[in-house]
Amino acid sequence: MGNARVGAAVSAAVLVVAISGCSFVGTTCTAIGWANAVQVRVPGSNADTSPVHQVAVCLGTDCTPGTPPTAGPVPSDGATPAALPSGGAGEPGTTATLPVAPFHTTVHEGDVWSVTTDMSTPASARVAVLDAAGTTLLDRTVELSWDRHVGSAQCGGPSSAAVTVQ
């Protein structure tokens, strides 16, 4: 009977290790992409006389929500072909990244405008309120507090943030 108990204990230990083995590897994230949203409340924008026609959001603070991004990096005044390495191309990672276009919406319910964004959840953003001609009526930097609706801290998941601009 002693050998049977030892055999059962060893089998149980092997089973526990086999079943829990996945947890030693790390977290497996099943979602490969999602969209987040910023709910922007613009008091009075639901009135018939309101000039507000569109709301734009730039995630982070290094963009201007009321204007499209530039076409790409612009060389400095001192850039010449002779300044490049002998291969003629810059070193990997030395070029500026292209700016992300602002996220725009004309969809709103009452005075809350829902702007769909990418998967990032920065601490701040810039919000612009635009009229029908695209003129910026208001441009503010706002702090964002994100609420994740599904997913986990390790994997992320669809989130939303709500702000009010006046």
Determine the pLDDT at residue 37: 94
Residue 4 has pLDDT above 70, yes or no: no
Q: Between 88 and 81, where is the model more confident? A: 81
Who's near 100: CB < 8 A, 6+ residues apart? 58, 59, 63, 69, 118
| Its pTM surpasses 0.85 | no
CA neighbor of 119 nearest in space, from 31, 29, 34: 34
Mean pLDDT of 12-30: 56
Give residue-wise pLDDT tens across range 54-68: 999 998 877 777 665
Q: How many angstroms separate the CA atoms of 129 and 152, rounded?
A: 33
Domain boundaries, the chain: 41-66+102-165
Q: How many angstroms separate the CA atoms of 43 and 111, rounded?
A: 6
Which string of DSSP letters, residue by residue, matches 77-139? TT--GGGS-TTSSPPTT-SPPPPPPPEEE--EETTEEEEEE-S---SEEEEEEE-TT--EEEE
Determine the pLDDT at residue 67: 63
pLDDT band at residue 32, thresholds of 50, 70 and 90? confident
Q: How many angstroms separate the CA atoms of 29 and 118, rounded?
A: 18
pLDDT band at residue 96, thresholds of 50, 70 and 90? very low
Which residue, chain included where needed, has tokens 């609420």? Answer: 147
With a pLDDT cut of 90, the percent of the chain lying above it is 45
Coil, helix or strand for 25? helix
Helix (H) or strand (E) run with residue 9 in it: helix 2-25
Give residue-wise pLDDT tens across range 67-84: 655 545 555 566 565 555
pLDDT band at residue 14, thresholds of 50, 70 and 90? very low
Determine the pLDDT at residue 103: 86
When computed from its CA atoms, the radius of gyration of the chain, rounded to whole angstroms, is 26
